[in-house]
Amino acid sequence: MGFELKGHYPTLKVSFYTLKIDLDNNNVEIWYGPEQEKLDSSKLIPETIAQKLQYAHAQITQRKFDDNTFLSSLYDAYRVAVYRNDGKIGDAAPITAVLSNLAFLIQSRNFKMNPTKSNYRDYGRVFFSYDLYRLTERRIENLELSLVSATRAYTRRRSDFLWIPSNEKGGGNYISHIKFREV
């Protein structure tokens, strides 16, 4: 896997990752997106940084993924979020509410039978963001997934939005809500 490094000290971009360099402390922080989710940190040793970046990239991008299965689970998570807010299908649901519902819905049968830490499968903001990015199918039944761009009011607190890549070069959008609308 070849990464192309861009940018200027102290902030470098690599695909949809950001490297924040701190020469005073001989350290670099590895972030997902434009400093959205911290993935790791490392001493300023190029080989170590590259190794940690490749590992994080593999963890994010090489997970098993099926469009239809993900879309179905996403729709179920959306419905729960909408109904909890006394809404209806077609209403916008906060993306973080959908994420928390989805994280529970995708758990294994073992977790649902015995919800212990050892049976829990991690699924956080980075995985959700990347899965929304790589999702190609947007329709389920007679509904289409729509991602709602975050207004300035929703970007004040990290808990109100999620950065989602739009390409492999680091472009992306801030999303605050998800909805499924009739087509």
Domain count, the chain: 2
Residue 34 lies in domain:
5-61
Same structural domain, 53 and 75:
no
Q: Which of 80, 79, 81 is nearest to 143 (CA)?
A: 79
Structure tokens at 137: 């199918």
Q: Give the C-alpha separation, 155 to 158, whole Å.
A: 7
Q: Are 178 and 147 in contact (CB under 8 A)?
A: yes
Peptide bond into 10 cis (omega under 30): yes
CA of 113: how far to CAs of 108, 109, 159, in Å? 9, 6, 30
- For residues 60 and 127, the answer to whether their CB atoms sit within 8 Å is yes
Task: State pTM to two decimals.
Answer: 0.93
5 with 14: CB under 8 angstroms? Answer: yes
Tell me, yes or no, whether 160 and 178 share the same domain. Answer: yes
131-172 pLDDT, tens digit per residue, is 999 999 999 999 999 999 999 888 888 889 999 999 998 899
Banded model confidence at residue 49, pLDDT cuts 50, 70, 90: very high
- pLDDT tens-digit series, residues 96-125: 999 999 999 999 999 999 999 999 999 999
pLDDT at 75 over 80: yes
Give yes or no: residues 87 and 176 share one domain. yes
Do 41 and 127 sit in the same domain of this protein? Answer: no
50 and 115 belong to one structural domain: no
Alpha-carbon span 69 to 64, nearest angstrom: 11
Given 23, 46, 61, the domain boundary residue is 61
Does 9 share its domain with 57? yes
Nearest-angstrom CA–CA distance, 79 and 98: 9
33 and 172 Cβ atoms separated by less than 8 Å: yes
What's the CA gap between 8 and 19, in Å, rounded? 10
Same domain for 86 and 153, yes or no, is yes
**Nearest CA among 115, 127, 136, 122 for reference residue 162:** 127
- Judge if 141 and 98 occupy the same domain: yes
Are 48 and 96 part of one and the same domain? no
Residue 171's contacts (CB-CB under 8 Å, 6 or more residues apart) are 165
Q: Are 11 and 29 in contact (CB under 8 A)?
A: no
Domain check: are 31 and 95 in the same one?
A: no
- At residue 1 the predicted structure's pLDDT band, cuts being 50, 70 and 90, is low
